[in-house]
Structure 1
């Protein structure tokens, strides 16, 4: 089983290498009325603040929950305006109807949704929303580059069994997990495609933050960048799912 605290050991790389979420995603949240100045937000599995920062910049009051002490320290240093809590998302304690927006950005797959969703349902305001999104590293719909072909070879050569369950990138499986309880209904779904130019050092930093990549595999990925000339254009995608508490939605 992949260790969810893997990121704690590579906290500095995580802060430096994880790319921001695409501008279109933030614009969609704004269009939906979820980035209201003065509103309260809860960022679950906040890492080093890739979502916390833009939420604060939009004028929201943010509680950021991160279980890794090193990651949380970097998060607190980068975003001192946030209320940073070092605990699991499942263990956070907030008053009922205290939060307008709950966010899980590239983190929900690490959480026990059977425990988490009833808690989110309780702490959301009557008009609150749950927004879940993730970056997908490697756009399946983009043309296969030589670098991506080499990455596929590295993955295919693995002997360790894959992580159990559906892939974390699978939006349909994520939606099913978030709605099976009957507490939430999907109100909006959107996807975004984007690219990033990376050199060998940047690839090394980024791939070291991937929980299912060994040190040897990361070195192979770095070598795959050096072979075609030292830089690669990585094609990525992101998806966003917004959900509402189902009984409260019907009462609005």
Structure 2
């Protein structure tokens, strides 16, 4: 498994390098009624605030948990209205029924679910929601010349690019999130979107990927230059919304 603290080494560029979550995701969450002003939100693995910022903008009170000291420091500077806790989700102490929603935004695959799911269950109110989502960089249904070059770079490694579950396999993740019977799935949704990137943006973004080396990111940036200087990347964002199961039914 890649080092989860890989992102800490890229703290200075992480916030700018990673694209924001798509507006369609936030619109959908507003439609679900989970982003009501005054609600208490727990942001797990918050990074530099890609989810924290929009949650605060929606009027929520946000507690953000981030294990990387440099990432947490940047998070505090960018979002001083959030309560930032510099700890691992596995170690943090959370108040019982202290939150209306909990969010794991592009962080669930770094979390020990056997430890953290019971914590989240206790920390949520009985009518709370657990929202899990992730950006997948590269829509498997859309092939482009740039994506062919990316596939070639990965193939040149001579090994599987990532150990662990397929980030596109939302069904498998949903099963993992409900295996303990602490949560039930309400909604599974996928949003498709695109963004135009130049070679510098591609280099910075790919440098933040835990399974990419700097040399590989440089090859991706060179591909952008060879393809005309910019590329349109087609991405997906999946969402799983869950409800905590009452203790009496488990």
Task: Provide the rounded CA distance (Å) in 1 between the counterparts of 2:159 and 2:5.
Answer: 19
Is the contact between residue 97 and residue 126 of structure 1 (CA under 8 Å) also seen in structure 2?
A: yes
The alpha-carbon deviation at position 160 of structure 1 amounts to 4.6
Unaligned 5+ segments in structure 2 are none
- Partner of residue 216, structure 2: 217
Return the TM-score normalized by structure 2. 0.96
| Structure 1 residue 248: Cα displacement | 6.4
Q: How big is the shift at 1:165? A: 2.6
1:74 matched residue in structure 2: 74
Instruction: Assess if the C-alpha contact under 8 Å between 2:137 and 2:234 holds in 1.
Output: yes
CA displacement, residues 154-191 of structure 1 (integer Å, 9 cap, x when unaligned): 11111355433322332112111101111100011111
State the match for 1:9 in structure 2.
9
Residue 90 of structure 1 aligns to a residue in which SS? coil
Pairing of 1:173-192 with structure 2 (within 5 A): 173-192=172-191
Coordinate RMSD, CA, aligned: 1.3
The aligned counterpart of 2:231 is 232
Contact kept, 8 Å, 1:13 with 1:208, in 2: the verdict is no
Q: Deviations over 1:23-43 (max 9, x none)?
A: 111111111110010010000
Superposed counterparts of 1:93-172, under 5 Å: 93-142=93-142, 144-172=143-171
In the alignment, is the contact (CA less than 8 A) between 2:154 and 2:161 conserved in 1?
no
Residue pair 1:127, 1:249 contacting (<8 A) in 2 also? no
Asked whether the equivalents of residues 94 and 119 of structure 2 are also in contact (C-alpha less than 8 Å), the reply is no
4+ residue stretches of structure 1 with deviation over 4 A?
A: none
How far off is 1:193 after superposition?
A: 0.6
Q: What is the CA–CA distance in structure 2 between the aligned matches of 1:247 and 1:66, rounded to whole Å? A: 28
Is the CA contact (8 Å cut-off) linking 2:136 and 2:167 kept in structure 1?
no
Gaps of 5+ in 1: none
Q: Count residues with an aligned counterpart.
A: 249
CA contact (8 A) 2:197 2:233 kept: yes
CA distance in 1, matches of 2:234, 2:24: 16
Change (3 A) 1:206 1:28: same
Distance 1:249 1:80, change over 3 A: farther
Q: After superposition, where does 1:55-70 map in structure 2 within 5 Å?
A: 55-70=55-70
